[in-house]
C-alpha cells in the first residue's frame, strides 16, 4: 500500500528506510490512522526524522496525494451522521427540511468548492468553512448536517498542510550558521589515549589491589584526546568575494573549536602555486615545499574555493596571473602534490551546481572529492575525512 509514495519520498531525497516503512505499515495495520490529516502527521512522525527534511516530505506528499480527493473522512463522517439514530429525534422540522435541501453529493461538491475558494481561517459567519458558524461545513458550528472538519484550524486538509510548506526554512541544503558548522566539524574526531598516565584506572586498580591482598595499589592510564589535525586552505581570490561571509563563518567555527589537536589555515589566490599565505592580505607566505615537509600526512585537509579559473591558470606552468614567471610548478601539479602527501583531502565549493560544468572545476573535482559549502555538503565532507581509505 502506498508503495509509490515510498519511492516518491526517496526521489525527493528524504532518507527513508525499509524499517521505517514497515513501522508505518504496522501503524496502518493497527488502524492507528483514521483520516488523511492523521496520515500526514503520523507518516511524517514515523518516516521523517529531522525537521530539515519536512519540506521535501511536504513536496512529495503534495505530488503523490494531490490527485486523490476528496478525503475519505468527510464521506464517512457524514454518512455516519446521517445514519446515526441518536441525532434524529433532536432535529427540529427546519433542520429536517435542511437535510432534504442538500443531498450528500451536492454537499460534498459544495464543500470542495468552498474549500478551494477559501484561503484563510473563518470563525463565525454562515458561508465559509470554519468554527462557530452556521455554514454547513466546519467545526463547533450549528448547521445540523454540516461537515465537521478536523480539530483546531481544521479546514486545512492534509494536502493543504503540505502545500503550505511551513518547513521550507529548515532545509539543511540552504543555510549555514557558525553553530551548525561547529556541530558538523565536531564530528572530526578520533580519540586516542595520549599524554602522561594521570587518569585513575579503576578496574585495574581493584584487580591489582585484590591481588595485593587488599593493600591498595593504584593503576593509572592515559586520558583520551582528540588526535585530529585540521588544515584549512581557503581561496581569497576576487571571484570568492560573494562568499566571503560564508568562508569567514567556516573559519571562525573551526578556529573557535578547541577541539582539534592542531588547526592550521592558509590562503591562496584563485589557484595555489608554490606558496600559501598565512594572512588574508597575502603578505606572509610559506612555500608549499616547506609546508609539505613540516605538516604530517595525517592532517585532514579542507580546500575552500570556487575552483573556477582560466584553464591555463590551472594547467600551465606559468599560469599564475599575478606573479609571472616565477613558478616552479603548475597549479594542477601543486594540487596533485597535496593529494599524494595528505591521506584525507576534500574540496568545498560555495558555487552552486550551475558552475560545476566549468572545465577547471571538473579537473579539480577529479582530484579531490568536491562538496557544496552547505550544511549537507559539509557533513558529507566531514564523513569523507574521517572514513578510512
Partner 1 sequence: MTQKQFEQFKGSSDYVISDPLKNAVNVSIVLQRPLIVRGEPGTGKTLLSHSIASSLGKELIRWNVKSTTKASDGLYIYDTVQRLNDSRFGGKDVSDIKHYIKLGKLGQAFTAPVQVVLLIDEVDKADLEFPNDLLNELDEMSFYIPETDETISAILRPVVIITSNNEKELPDAFLRRCIFHYIEFPEPDLMEEIVKVHFPNIKSSLLKDALDSFYVLRKIDDFRKKPSTSELIDWIQALMASGLDGKIKDGEIPFLGTLLKKETDIDYYVSHHVRKKPQGRGYNISGN
- Summarize as ranges the residues that interact with partner 1 (CB under 8 A): 15, 17, 19-20, 23, 26-27, 30-32, 34, 38, 41-42, 44-46, 48-51, 54, 150-153, 166, 183, 186-187, 189, 202-203, 205-206, 209-210, 214, 216, 379
Q: Are 25 and 1 in contact (CB under 8 A)?
A: yes
Strand-pairing partners, residue 276, are 286
**Cα 176 from chain centroid?**
10
Strand-pairing partners, residue 349, are 372
Gap between the Cα atoms of 222 and 66, Å rounded: 61
Residue entry with cell 594547467 = 315
Of the pair 31, 324, the CB lying nearest partner 1 is at 31
Q: Say what the alpha-carbon torsion angle 381, 382, 388, 389 is, to the nearest 10 degrees.
A: 20
Of the pair 167, 318, the CB lying nearest partner 1 is at 167
Q: Which DSSP category does 135 fall into?
A: S
Compute the half-sphere exposure of residue 353: CA atoms within 13 Å on the CB side of its CA. 2
Smallest gap from residue 49 Cβ to partner 1 (A): 4
CA distances from 333 to 139, 235, 276, 316, 386 (A): 71, 17, 15, 9, 25
Of the pair 87, 205, the CB lying nearest partner 1 is at 205
Smallest gap from residue 368 Cβ to partner 1 (A): 24
Of the pair 57, 268, the CB lying nearest partner 1 is at 57
Smallest gap from residue 309 Cβ to partner 1 (A): 34
Gap between the Cα atoms of 371 and 173, Å rounded: 12
Of the pair 72, 202, the CB lying nearest partner 1 is at 202
Smallest gap from residue 121 Cβ to partner 1 (A): 8
Gap between the Cα atoms of 206 and 20, Å rounded: 45
Of the pair 314, 378, the CB lying nearest partner 1 is at 378
Of the pair 23, 355, the CB lying nearest partner 1 is at 23
Smallest gap from residue 135 Cβ to partner 1 (A): 19
Smallest gap from residue 296 Cβ to partner 1 (A): 25
Of the pair 15, 195, the CB lying nearest partner 1 is at 15
Smallest gap from residue 258 Cβ to partner 1 (A): 14
Smallest gap from residue 201 Cβ to partner 1 (A): 11
Smallest gap from residue 272 Cβ to partner 1 (A): 32
For residue 103 the three cell numbers come to: 443531498
**Helix segments in 118-192, DSSP class H:** 158-164, 178-186
Gap between the Cα atoms of 307 and 140, Å rounded: 61
Query: How many residues in total does the chain contain?
Result: 389
Of the pair 72, 206, the CB lying nearest partner 1 is at 206
CA distances from 225 to 137, 255, 351 (A): 64, 18, 35
Gap between the Cα atoms of 21 and 345, Å rounded: 36
For residue 126 the three cell numbers come to: 454562515
Amino acid at each position: 500500500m502506498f508503495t509509490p509514495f515510498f519511492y516518491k519520498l526517496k526521489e525527493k531525497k528524504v532518507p527513508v528506510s525499509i524499517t521505517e516503512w514497515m513501522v508505518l505499515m504496522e501503524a496502518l495495520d493497527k488502524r492507528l490512522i483514521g483520516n488523511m490529516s492523521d496520515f500526514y502527521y503520523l507518516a511524517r512522525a514515523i518516516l521523517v526524522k529531522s525537521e530539515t527534511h519536512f519540506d521535501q516530505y511536504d513536496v512529495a506528499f503534495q505530488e503523490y496525494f494531490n490527485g486523490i480527493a476528496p478525503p475519505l473522512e468527510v464521506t464517512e463522517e457524514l454518512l455516519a451522521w446521517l445514519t446515526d439514530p441518536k441525532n434524529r429525534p433532536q432535529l427540529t422540522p427546519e433542520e429536517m427540511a435542511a437535510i432534504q435541501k442538500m443531498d450528500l453529493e451536492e454537499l460534498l461538491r459544495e464543500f470542495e468548492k468552498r474549500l478551494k475558494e477559501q484561503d484563510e481561517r473563518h470563525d463565525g459567519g454562515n458561508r465559509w468553512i470554519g468554527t462557530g458558524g452556521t455554514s454547513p461545513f466546519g467545526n463547533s458550528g450549528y448547521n445540523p448536517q454540516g461537515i465537521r472538519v478536523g480539530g483546531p484550524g481544521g479546514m486545512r486538509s492534509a494536502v493543504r498542510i503540505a502545500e503550505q510548506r511551513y518547513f521550507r526554512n529548515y532545509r539543511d541544503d540552504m543555510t549555514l550558521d557558525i553553530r551548525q558548522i561547529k556541530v558538523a566539524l565536531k564530528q572530526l574526531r578520533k580519540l586516542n589515549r595520549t599524554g602522561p598516565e594521570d587518569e585513575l584506572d579503576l578496574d585495574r586498580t581493584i584487580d591489582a589491589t585484590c591481588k595485593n591482598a587488599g593493600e591498595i595499589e593504584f593503576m593509572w592510564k592515559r586520558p583520551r584526546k582528540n588526535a585530529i589535525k585540521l588544515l584549512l586552505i581557503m581561496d581569497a581570490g576576487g571571484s570568492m568575494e560573494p562568499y566571503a561571509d560564508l568562508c569567514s563563518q567556516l573559519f571562525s567555527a573551526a578556529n573557535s573549536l578547541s577541539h582539534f589537536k592542531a588547526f592550521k589555515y592558509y590562503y591562496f589566490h584563485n589557484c595555489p602555486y608554490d606558496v600559501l599565505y598565512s594572512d588574508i592580505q597575502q603578505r606572509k607566505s610559506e612555500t608549499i615545499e616547506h609546508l609539505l615537509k613540516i605538516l604530517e600526512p595525517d592532517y585532514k585537509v579542507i580546500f575552500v574555493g570556487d575552483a573556477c579559473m582560466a584553464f591555463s591558470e590551472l594547467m600551465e606552468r606559468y599560469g599564475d596571473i599575478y606573479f609571472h614567471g616565477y613558478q616552479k610548478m603548475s597549479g594542477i601539479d601543486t594540487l596533485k602534490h597535496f593529494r599524494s602527501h595528505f591521506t584525507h583531502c576534500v574540496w568545498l565549493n560555495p558555487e552552486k551546481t550551475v558552475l560545476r560544468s566549468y572545465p577547471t572545476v571538473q579537473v579539480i573535482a577529479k582530484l579531490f572529492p568536491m562538496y557544496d559549502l552547505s550544511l549537507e555538503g559539509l557533513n558529507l565532507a566531514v564523513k569523507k575525512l574521517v572514513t578510512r581509505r
